[in-house]
Amino acid sequence: MHILLVEDDDRVAAALRPALHRHGMTTTRLARGRGAVDHLSGVDVVLLDLGLPDVDGVDVCRAIRAVSEVPVIVVSARGEVDDRILGLHSGADDYLVKPYDVGELVARVHAVYRRRRVEAASADGAPDVLEVDGVSVDLTRHTVTVGGVSVTLTRKEFQVLALLASSGGAVCTRSRIVAEVWGRSWAGANRTLDVHIATLRTKLGRPEMVQTVRGVGYRLGLPGGG
Ligand code: CA
């Protein structure tokens, strides 16, 4: 996987690149935003710093989105809610606040990459079915089978499962699941998510398939696999 890293901070780039390389990724680094759209060829995921010296990262994101469907993860030192909304409305696929954990970043990179591939496959008219270790999620018909046996889920349970399945074994953070399935966070969100995970495990009949990643979130797949 090839990453375009748009980051003006030399120290951040110097720390990040070896970490990404250790995870099997290659990188191109740009220290400025201007001209980033000219470097998208062969790029699988863009990591875009919002605070750039020459142009606002939000404008870079819009410029990229105008010419390409490449997944963009906005990275920002600012943790303001306004920035988050701005980042997502500029066409970014995900958003990370500095300082972040590299493992979390790598998981997000895999997640947006796989999600975009799923979208591309469905746009191509390919069957819109995600398969993970015997669990089959049909995104068009909203049906689920486990080992070929149909399982009935509520709409929210299905959405949680589809999100986990589309991440292809990468961890989905609790906050991302809540944001994508419920569209907002609220005081009882964590408890509600716990309940949905518990019923999902029961209904799938294979509780070990929905793995808890302590302190982070959940991933779908057999323990030790993927
Ligand atoms: Ca910066």
CA of 50 to the centre of ligand 1 (A): 6
In the chain, the number of structural domains is 2
Whether residue 20 is found in the same domain as residue 91: yes
User: Once rounded to an integer, what is the mean pLDDT over residues 50-74?
Assistant: 90
Of 76-80, 112-116, 210-214, which gets the smallest average pLDDT? Answer: 76-80
Q: DSSP 3-state helix, strand, coil percentages of the chain (rounded to 5)?
A: 45, 20, 35
CA of 30 to the centre of ligand 1 (A): 11
> Within a domain: residue 67?
yes
Whether residue 104 is found in the same domain as residue 149: no
pLDDT tens digit sequence for 2-29: 999 999 999 999 999 999 998 889 999 9
Whether residue 94 is found in the same domain as residue 143: no
> Within a domain: residue 56?
yes
Whether residue 142 is found in the same domain as residue 202: yes
Whether residue 13 is found in the same domain as residue 102: yes
- 3-class DSSP state for residue 184? coil
Write the DSSP string, 140-176.
TTTEEEETTEEE---HHHHHHHHHHHHTTTSPEEHHH
Between CA 140 and CA 133 the distance in angstroms is 20
pLDDT tens digit sequence for 130-160: 888 899 999 878 899 999 999 999 989 999 9
CA of 22 to the centre of ligand 1 (A): 23
Choosing from 96, 119, 142, the residue where a domain stops is 119
Question: Residue 52: which domain range?
Answer: 2-119
Which amino acid is it at 102?
Answer: V
CA of 24 to the centre of ligand 1 (A): 25
**pLDDT tier for residue 226 given thresholds of 50, 70 and 90:** very low
